Amino acid sequence: MFKQVVGALVALGMIGFGSAADRAAAAEKTLKIGAAVSLSGALSREGRLLVEGYELWQKKVNEAGGIKIGDDTYKIEIVSYDDESKAQTSAQLTEKLITSDDVSFIFGPYSSGIATATAVISERYKVLTLAPMATANSLYGRGYKYIFTQTPLADRGLYPVLELASEMDPKPQSVAVVGPDDLFPNIVGDSAAKKAEEMGFKLVYTAKYPKASTDLASVATQIKSAAPDVVLATGYVQDTLLLLKSMRELKVDPAIVGLAMSIGIQDFRDALGPSANGIMGTDMWVSTLTYSDPVFTDSATFAKEFEAEYGNAPTYHAASGASAGVILQMALEKAGSTDVDKVREALLSMEGETFYGRFKFEDDGTNSLGTAAVSQLIESDPKVIFPPAVAQEKALYPRSEM
Residue 258 Cβ, how far from other proteins at the closest point, in Å?
19
Q: Which of 120, 237, 348, 369 is the binder for other proteins (CB under 8 A)?
A: 237
Decide: helix, strand or coil at residue 86. coil
3-state secondary structure of 60: helix
Query: Stretches 151-159, 247-255, 298-306, 372-380: which one binds other proteins (CB under 8 A)?
Result: 247-255
Give the range of 52-60, 94-102, 153-161, 248-256 binding other proteins by CB under 8 A: 248-256
Cα separations (Å) of 305 from 32, 155, 170, 253, 318? 23, 32, 42, 41, 12
- In whole angstroms, the minimum distance from the beta carbon of 379 to other proteins comes to 17
> What's the order of all strands across the beta sheet hosting 381-386?
202-209, 174-180, 230-233, 256-259, 280-283, 373-378, 381-386
**Closest distance between other proteins and the C-beta of residue 154, in Å?**
21
In 3D space, the residue among 335, 323, 336 whose CA is nearest the CA of residue 294 turns out to be 323
Min CB(266)–other proteins separation in Å: 8
Identify residues 197-226 at the interface with other proteins (CB under 8 A): 207-210, 212-219, 221-222, 224-225
Using CA of residue 313, residue 315, residue 319, residue 322, what is the dihedral sign?
A: negative
The smaller minimum CB distance to other proteins, of residues 100 and 225, is found at 225
- One-letter amino acid at 366 equals T
Q: Are 127 and 98 in contact (CB under 8 A)?
A: yes
177 contacts other proteins (rule: CB under 8 A): no
Q: State the minimum distance, in angstroms, from the CB of residue 402 to other proteins.
A: 7
Q: Number of residues interacting with other proteins: please give it, by CB under 8 A.
A: 37
CB of 391 to other proteins, least distance (A): 29
Residue 29, classed as helix, strand or coil, is strand
Please, which residue, 167 or 401, has the CB nearer to other proteins?
401
Q: What is the nearest approach in angstroms of other proteins to the Cβ of residue 110?
A: 20
| φ/ψ (deg, to 5) at 297 | 65, -80
Closest residue by Cα to residue 127 from 144, 146, 148: 146
Quick one: 46 or 55, whose CB is closer to other proteins?
46
Instruction: State which of residues 45, 126, 251, 394 lies at the interface with other proteins (CB under 8 A).
Output: 251
Smallest distance from the beta carbon of 162 to other proteins, in angstroms? 22
Q: Does 1 bind other proteins (CB under 8 A)?
A: no
Minimum gap (Å) between residue 217 Cβ and other proteins: 4
What string marks each residue from 259 to 278 as x (binds other proteins by CB under 8 A) or -? Answer: -------xxx-xxxxxx---
CB of 274 to other proteins, least distance (A): 7
Indicate whether 313 belongs to the interface with other proteins (CB under 8 A).
no
Does 193 help bind other proteins (rule: CB under 8 A)? no
| C-beta of 6 vs 313, nearer to other proteins | 313
Long-range contacts of 202-206 (CB under 8 A, 24+ apart): 202/173, 202/174, 202/175, 203/174, 203/175, 203/176, 203/177, 204/174, 204/175, 204/176, 204/228, 205/176, 205/177, 205/178, 206/176, 206/177, 206/178
Closer by beta carbon to other proteins, 82 or else 239: 239
Nearest one of 88, 80, 81, 83 to 121, comparing CA atoms = 88
SS3 207: strand
402 forms part of the interface with other proteins (CB under 8 A): yes
Alpha-carbon span 128 to 97, nearest angstrom: 12
| Residues at the contact surface with other proteins, assessed by CB under 8 A | 178, 181, 207-210, 212-219, 221-222, 224-225, 237-238, 241-242, 245, 248-251, 266-268, 270-275, 402
